[in-house]
A and B are shown apart, each in its own frame.
Chain A
């Protein structure tokens, strides 16, 4: 092969490579190149739905055999394919959908996710009459809005608050749950038990059975702190630092709980089997306990961590419509159906979640599940994560910040200041990109 032909080959290879990369890069941006084909008219077409709820065979059967037929009976020209996933894989599903330019028409996502997607025109504004929103507490709708417009509707909620074992408290001489943050710490210390070899046999306050990020946020809100104010980090102000230090002290100073005592993936709940006297827990602890130790269900007592500054952590699953959907009216109709009381209630019942509509307070499901009832009754104090478009760039980092403080690797102020620096960079990035 002579020099000229080698050079030509190299050049053509380079050009081919550049062209290929260009094609790949363009296809990577395909999501925004599509435009909806219908802008009104009767709902029709084939829709793809991406959902992290209705898990397992039971969930699929419930949704596709009992709930979805109600929708297709009402809209016979609309068919629906359902893609089930979990929150662990939801990011990947959404990412690949957007990258290939074929996102699902209707996407169910978490609280805190609307701002990033709505601000980038990934989601369609929902056309819901204001009268349809009267059944929701305003704090429940807040995470559904971006720039004053509604982009999502709540389907099921996940609330987190304090849960005590009435019987264990009574054995220690406490006839009521703690009534303040300071009292909560005193109770936790008094209720902790260790064996003769120092091994923890019962924690006074289990802070490990829910995701560390959401546990910290629950405490932060109970302290009266905020994640962000005016689009800037506020979690590293004195209140935020005190909240995280409080959590770290429980573990490192008061030795109320040891590292690895429990974890969010555990199939058993320390509160249910008596290895915890109290916990910062999730409303579905009722369902878990009913499977694990039904005889102690009556002993579970929910409480606000700090009644002086009442708050419950309010996360959940929201339903949205993709801006790239070619069947907007059908997608909007499906979103409204999924957020309707009958679907919301059945979805909540399947997972032990809180239905977001106040009108569902007087249903057998809510009445029979005191933790769900407590969550629903206290949605007026609901506080949610997210709030800034750059939230998704930050949420993973909070976990490591909390862990680095609770394992004694960093002080609360130092760790939260570092996190604030990351947050500022993410916010700036999001603003310029």
Chain B
């Protein structure tokens, strides 16, 4: 049903007059417009075909082969999938990815809301603070990870130096399996705050001022205004930030690669790192493709969830 028929269902609809036959000039103009349209779409289309569709299809195709770069291709059916789910390290990596996501996303979101609310006030040098908090987002993860690598150095790093002022002997953050994953998570939280804060800030600026004024007149204190107005008004942004952050957390790689290389003793390995290891360290490309498909299924499910929660599928 079209929008116009919804708006005026009872009105008699007059049958449209038959369109006049297009003149040769019109036909030519239409043809030119079509060609121009194709030409304008072509770069994006070619990009989507060669850099997205083809690799995705190839990943699916290669996931049922023994492709190893070094050996001839052979169809192996679901062997790579069976091996993946029989591999305790890959299962551990799935668990680590879930744990990493579970901690980085909500914690970073909470901190981001805090900063967004704070930096939505009229305070001095507000722009500088905003820029400072957003900076980690636009800094290369590898560079950020290198800095954190130094911070976590058990003997000369900032973390243990600060703890030593309190009389505490800090642990070997990245070398002790008990602390390695939490250390990676802390870095993930820190790096993720910036983009979330910007989205929340944008959402906050759309909250009508009248709501706060009315609440103030009714005697609501700051906490009540935050709880009853700000948080509910941030709900759409929270849904968006949440799902996008979860998808991003599932793809975390650089920080693990630079900080720990999945160690010690696989204590920080994640799905993306296992895929990388299979593809480029052990040359088991078919197996890496199968694991990529598993990751793809996770991400696809999360994307569908995002669409459902944000109402993206309703106007299709």
Contacts and interface: CB of A to CB of B under 8 A. Distances in A.
A407 interface: yes
A179 interface: no
A199 B172 CA distance: 12
Contacts of A131: none
Q: Which of A29, A258, A259, A403 has the most CB of B within 10 A?
A: A259
B265 A197 contact: no
Nearest to B277: A396
Contacts of B149: 265
B172 A98 contact: no
Contacts, number: 118
Contacts of B266: 400, 404
B161 to A, nearest CB: 13
B69 A98 contact: yes
A404 B265 contact: yes
Interface string B59-81: 01110011111111110000000
Contact of B282 (A23, A120, A396): A396
Contact of A29 (B54, B72, B154, B174): B72
A395 B282 CA distance: 8
Interface stretch (A14-22, A37-45, A330-338, A367-375): A14-22
Nearest to B281: A396
A348 interface: no
Contact of B154 (A22, A261, A433): A261
Nearest to B279: A95
B70 A98 contact: yes
Interface residues of B, number: 45
A399 B70 contact: no
Interface string A373-396: 000000000000000000011111
A394 B176 CA distance: 23
Contacts of A24: 54-55, 57-58, 61-62
Interface string A414-433: 00000000000010011001
Contacts of B154: 260-261
A392 B282 contact: yes
Interface string B178-203: 00000000000000000000000000
Contacts of B62: 21, 24-25, 28
A122 interface: yes
A409 interface: yes
A48 interface: no
Interface string B71-112: 111100000000000000100000000000000000000000
A117 B68 CA distance: 11
Interface string B30-74: 000000000000000000010001110110111001111111111
Given A392-B281, A396-B281, A403-B265, A31 B69 contact: yes
A263 interface: yes
Interface in A250-267: 258-261, 263, 265
Interface residues of A, number: 46
B283 A95 contact: yes
A25 B149 CA distance: 39
Interface in B125-170: 149, 154-155, 169
A241 to B, nearest CB: 17
Nearest to A396: B281
B60 to A, nearest CB: 7
Contacts of A393: 282-284
Contacts of A32: 72
B58 A117 contact: no
Given A20-B54, A25-B67, A400-B263, A260 B173 contact: yes
Contacts of A197: 169
A25 B65 contact: yes
A392 B278 CA distance: 10
A152 B61 CA distance: 35
B169 A198 contact: yes
B242 interface: no
B215 interface: no
Q: Which of B70, B155, B284, B285 has the most CB of A within 10 A?
A: B70
B300 interface: no
A201 to B, nearest CB: 10
A260 B172 contact: yes
Contacts of A430: 71
A92 interface: yes
A426 B266 CA distance: 19
A98 B263 CA distance: 29
A276 B62 CA distance: 49
A266 to B, nearest CB: 8
Nearest to A97: B69
Nearest to A415: B265
Interface in A182-240: 197-199
Contacts of B73: 25, 28-29
Contacts of A25: 58, 61-62, 65, 67, 73
B114 interface: no
Given A122-B70, A259-B172, A261-B154, A403 B263 contact: yes
Given A116-B70, A404-B264, 17 more contacts: A18-B57, A20-B53, A24-B55, A25-B58, A25-B67, A91-B280, A95-B280, A98-B70, A117-B70, A260-B174, A263-B175, A392-B282, A400-B266, A409-B177, A429-B66, A433-B68, A433-B71
Q: Please give me the 9 A-B residue pairs with the lowest Cβ-Cβ distance, nearest first.
A: A260-B172, A260-B175, A24-B58, A21-B61, A404-B265, A120-B70, A403-B265, A433-B71, A21-B57
Interface of A: 17-18, 20-25, 28-29, 31-32, 91-92, 95, 98-99, 116-117, 120, 122, 197-199, 258-261, 263, 265, 392-396, 399-400, 403-404, 407, 409-410, 426, 429-430, 433
30 contacts: A20-B57, A20-B58, A21-B54, A21-B60, A21-B61, A24-B54, A24-B55, A28-B67, A28-B285, A29-B67, A29-B73, A32-B72, A98-B70, A99-B69, A197-B169, A260-B175, A261-B154, A263-B175, A265-B149, A392-B281, A392-B283, A393-B282, A393-B284, A396-B282, A400-B89, A400-B266, A403-B265, A430-B71, A433-B71, A433-B72
